[in-house]
Structure 1
Amino acid sequence: MILGLAANRLHHHTEDAALFAWLRACEAGIRELQLGLHAVGRTHDAIVAAGMLQGYRPLVRYPYGRDGGLMKVVAEVVGMGEGRTLDGAIYLTDPVDPSSIFPEALALKRQCVIHGKPFLSTVASARDWIEMERIHAGLAPDPQADRFHDHGNQTLALIAHDACKQAMLDFADRNFDVLSQFRHRLATGTTGQRLNALAWSKGWPEGQPWVQRFNSGPLGGDAQIADLVLERRCHRAVFFEDPHVARQHEADIQLLERAVTTATHDAVCVTVPSVAQRWCDAVRLRAAR
């Protein structure tokens, strides 16, 4: 498996920056998985300068972002033929860095969603993904990742745009056992209404909400959940986005995404149904070990 890798300057210009925190936590797992990392120029150079991943051949340097490095990552997520196809991307974004809203940055997420590949924009998401893949590879659970599986003390947000609501309902139906482990579940508008109806049909106590409903997205539900993310009161978001439709409340959606990247060490965000399913399967496998 090969991922594109990029990090805004904030995340690699000091010793305790997010990129290095992720590598310190996950270097052993990266090596166990033999994960290919095709890193955009400055991100690659920062890793080498910090003395991390020494001698690791699957770490490959791409051009600087200004020379098209991130554009190449986007193209290879789409697929450029044998040897030039990426399985997803890690892009540790700085919510106040203008480059995080450059066309290539926005296109990277969109193409990951369209092609069903992981897009990991926070340290927590990238750490959680490494553990998920380790579990699927048959490796023993990493105790450092236990906090990402402490679901009984965590809050989960389930959000879906109109074209994705059925996908969210199908996901919740298949994985009701895993999602019910969370201490609290949140949802916006109609999605929350339909999830509660599903839960009651599956035997959840009638009249007791399975999810706490917030406003619909256009009426500020995304902003309400973003506030909980910023307060570290919402720990994981499963957010099924429709990449093909322009939405009037796009600013609210971006607000939630910005909140997630602000809480980079604490917030896990999954935006692709196949990746969300793989996470649920890993939760069951990990618990069985």
Structure 2
Amino acid sequence: MRLGLAANRLHHQDSSAALFRWLRACAGGIGELQLSLHAVGRTFDAIVRHGGVHGDATIMRYPNGREGGLMKLVAEVVGMGAERTLDGAIYLIDPVDPSSIFPEAIALKRQCVIHGKPFISTVASARDWVEMERMHAGLPADPGADALHAFERQTLALIAHDAMKPAMLAFADEHFDVLSRFAARVATGTTGQRLNELAWSRGWPADTPWATRYQSGPMGGDAQIADLVLEGRCQRAIFFEDPHVARQHEADIQLLERAVTTVTDQAVCMTAPRVAARWATAAARRAR
């Protein structure tokens, strides 16, 4: 499996930075999965400087970002032939680093969403993804990931743009038992109402909302949920974005995404239906 890898300067500047917290926490899983990491120049250099990767994982150096390294990752997420196709990307984002909103950074996420591949922007998401893939590989659960899977103590946000609402409802219907394990669920306006109607049709108590509804996205619901994330009251977001439509409330959407990356060790975010379904299947398998 091949993953693009990049990290803003804050996240690789010393051995205690986010990139190395992930590498240390998941060293065993990275080796077990025999990941091939395709790292942009300075990210690669930082890993070599602080000890490299261990086990069966491999790492390749791409050019520095200013020399087109991140652009190459975007192209390889789309696919450049059998030997130049990535299965997803880890991009550990510092939300106040200007390069995080460069066109190639935005395009990397967009192409991951379009092609149904993981776009991983936080330490927690990267740890969660490794454990998910370990479950699909038939490996035993890693006790170090238990806290990430303590859903009974977590709040889950479920958000979908208009064109993606049917996909969100289908996802919730198929994985209802896993999603119902969370201590609480929150959603923006219309999505929340439809999720509640689905839950009631499945026998959820009619006088109890399955998901707490906030405002609709255009009216500020994304900002309300971003505040929950920043306060540590929402630990996981499943956000089905429509990458083909420009939206007037784009700034609010970015606000939620920036909130997730601000608390990089605590918040997990998934943005593609295929990735979310793979996670839910792995979570059910891990619970067994």
Pairwise same-fold verdict (TM > 0.5): yes
Other structure's SS at 1:193 match: helix
What is the correspondence of 1:269-288 to structure 2 with a 5 Å cutoff?
A: 269-288=269-288
Which letter does structure 1 place at the counterpart of 2:250?
E
- TM-score normalised by length of structure 1: 0.98
2:51 corresponding residue in structure 1: 51
What is the correspondence of 1:81-230 to structure 2 with a 5 Å cutoff?
A: 81-230=81-230
CA distance in 2, matches of 1:107, 1:285: 33
* CA distance 1:231–1:57, change in 2 (3 Å): closer
- Structure 2 residue 79 is the aligned partner of structure 1 residue 71: no
CA distance in 2, matches of 1:267, 1:18: 13
What does the per-residue CA deviation read over 1:211-255, in whole Å, with 9 as the maximum and x for residues that have no partner?
000000000000000000001110000000000000000000000
Unaligned 5+ runs, structure 1: none
What does the per-residue CA deviation read over 1:137-167, in whole Å, with 9 as the maximum and x for residues that have no partner?
0111000000111000000000000000000
What does the per-residue CA deviation read over 1:23-75, in whole Å, with 9 as the maximum and x for residues that have no partner?
00011110100011000000000001001315766211101001000000000
Whether the 8 Å contact between 2:30 and 2:57 is mirrored in structure 1 is: no
Whether the 8 Å contact between 1:158 and 1:186 is mirrored in structure 2 is: yes
Other structure's SS at 2:83 match: coil
CA distance in 2, matches of 1:57, 1:174: 34
* CA distance 1:213–1:4, change in 2 (3 Å): same
2:41 corresponding residue in structure 1: 41
Which letter does structure 2 place at the counterpart of 1:254?
Q
CA distance in 2, matches of 1:82, 1:235: 36
Other structure's SS at 1:167 match: helix
Whether the 8 Å contact between 1:48 and 1:54 is mirrored in structure 2 is: no
CA distance in 1, matches of 2:55, 2:8: 24
What does the per-residue CA deviation read over 1:60-97, in whole Å, with 9 as the maximum and x for residues that have no partner?
11010010000000000000012000000000010000
Whether the 8 Å contact between 1:7 and 1:93 is mirrored in structure 2 is: yes
1:17 corresponding residue in structure 2: 17
Of all paired residues, the percent bearing the same amino acid is 74
- TM-score normalised by length of structure 2: 0.99
Unaligned 5+ runs, structure 2: none
- Please tell me the root mean square deviation across aligned C-alpha atoms, in Å: 0.9
